[in-house]
Structure formats: structure tokens, C-alpha cells
Amino acid sequence: MQFDKNLIEKLKESKSVVFFTGAGISAESGIPTFRGKDGIWNKLKPEELANFDSFLKNPELIWEWYSHRKKIIHESKPNAGHIAIAEAQNIFTEVTVVTQNIDNLHRRAGSKTVYELHGNIERNYCIKCKTFYSEELDFSKGVPKCKCGGLIRPDVVWFGEYLPEDQFDAAEKAARTCDVFFIVGTSAVVYPAASLVFIAKQNGAYLVEVNIEKTEISEIVDLSFYEPSGKILSELMKDIRTSQTT
């Protein structure tokens, strides 16, 4: 990929960069996306599974879905896209990752400042007393229960639930103050996460989209790459580093 020289110069001068990521960045690690061409929710309706009422009605089914995804996530590794974003820390003064993913792959790739808007599949909590539980849950007697008798659920954000306030506030601040805002592998249809794109734009950030297809926000970005994120991000970081040494 031959990048425009002006883009490389612009990026070189940038100090604060945000990577806003979605399921597409983890697609190359073998984790299915929700929507888009190969999305799992072409077959399953998101709102029907990812909500608290469904969990109360049929916790076995919801746990079956999360246990299946947990297994895929455990067997996966960060890909070239996650690694390129972690490498960006060696290029820019400030790098913030704002992710909608629950898979922990940004941290595993080495990214230090990661805000998780929709939780993390490695944590769980009791719906009654809010006690947190680690990953090792006991499924031998069916859906895991807390000492207090309450059902244990994954610590993820379902439809109709508030995002963790500290994570969203920090993400919003980063979106407001960054020079460049990358939007990587997200359909940008889920709010309030997608509102960060508009916040970044209103505050003068340069918007770069990386996705394999057009999305809801494609019309408002400054630059788009319609190719897999692993390829684009690794080539882009390599070009910036090479140009820094010449």
C-alpha cells in the first residue's frame, strides 16, 4: 500500500491519537463480528440475546452463547492490527485505545491505555449483590450462582444498560482532545459508543476509518481505507517509523 505523503507528514506531527475499535479488528484473530458480511448476527438477533431480560428468561442459553465465545477468545491471539496499535505507542506521545470489544486483545498486544466501553468477558458478577467473580466459574450444577443465591452474569454491557461511567468519561475526554481519531472495524451503529466519532469531529480531530466496507459514519470521515485492519495499520505504522528515521 502506497500512502499519501501528506498523510504520513500529518500523522508524524500528531501528538495525541485515539483508536476507536470494534469487532472487526478482532476478525483476523478468528473472532466473529456481530454484523457485516460474516457477522454472527446475520443469523441471531443482537437485541434478543444481549439484554438482561433474555438472561433472566433463559440464563442457560445466554451462558451457552458466552461460554462458546469465551472459548474462541481464549484460543485466539492478538493479530497484526492489535500489534500495530500497540506499536503506535512508540510513535506518538499519547495513544488511547477505546474499544467496544470484550476480548482483552488490545491489552494482550501491549496497549497500555485501554478504555473498555462494553465490559470484559474475563469478569463476571452476581446480579443480586454485585460481588465480582473471576473466570473460573463452576458450571457443574448449571448456571453459576453466587454465595447469596443470585445468578452470576458476564461483566458486559447489554442493550438498555448504561456503559461504565469512568470508561466512557475517559473515552469522551480523549475523543475531545485528540489530533487524530482512527475508527477501526466497527459498524458504528451502537450508541452511545458511536457518538465519540462525532465528538472527535466537532473538536477538530482528523478522522480516519479502516474497515472492509462502508459504514454509517463513512460520509463524515476525512479519509477511509476499505481493507482489512491488520494490513492497513501495520503498513501505516511501518511507513511512519521509516519516515521518522529518514
E runs forming strands in the chain:
16-21, 94-99, 114-116, 119-126, 132-133, 152-156, 180-184, 206-210, 223-225
Applying CB under 6 A, does 217 fall inside the site for ligand BJW? no
Helix (H, G, I), strand (E, B) or coil at 122: strand
Cα(178)–Cα(202) distance, integer angstroms: 11
Applying CB under 6 A, does 167 fall inside the site for ligand BJW? no
CB atoms within 10 A of CB 134: 8
Out of ligand BJW, Zn ion, none, what residue 161 binds, judged by CB under 5 to 8 A for its kind, is ligand BJW
| 1-9, 157-165, 170-178, 198-206 -> range binding ligand BJW (CB under 6 A) | 157-165
By C-beta, is 31 or 205 nearer to ligand BJW?
A: 31
Residue with the three cell numbers 498486544: 109
Applying CB under 5 A, does 151 fall inside the site for Zn ion? no
Q: Is the dihedral of CA 110, 111, 112, 116 positive or negative?
A: negative
Q: Which of 92, 211, 233, 234 contacts ligand BJW by CB under 6 A?
A: 211
In sequence order, the 6+-apart residues with CB closer than 8 A to the CB of 29 are 76, 77, 78, 79, 82, 103, 105
Applying CB under 6 A, does 50 fall inside the site for ligand BJW? yes
Residues 74-133 that bind Zn ion (CB under 5 A): 126, 128-129, 131
68 catalytic per annotation: no
Cα(72)–Cα(160) distance, integer angstroms: 26
Applying CB under 6 A, does 35 fall inside the site for ligand BJW? yes
Residues that bind ligand BJW (CB under 6 A): 22-24, 27-28, 33-36, 39, 46, 50, 100, 102, 118, 156-162, 185-187, 189-192, 210-213, 215, 228-229
Binding interface with Zn ion (CB under 5 A): 126, 128-129, 131, 146, 148, 150
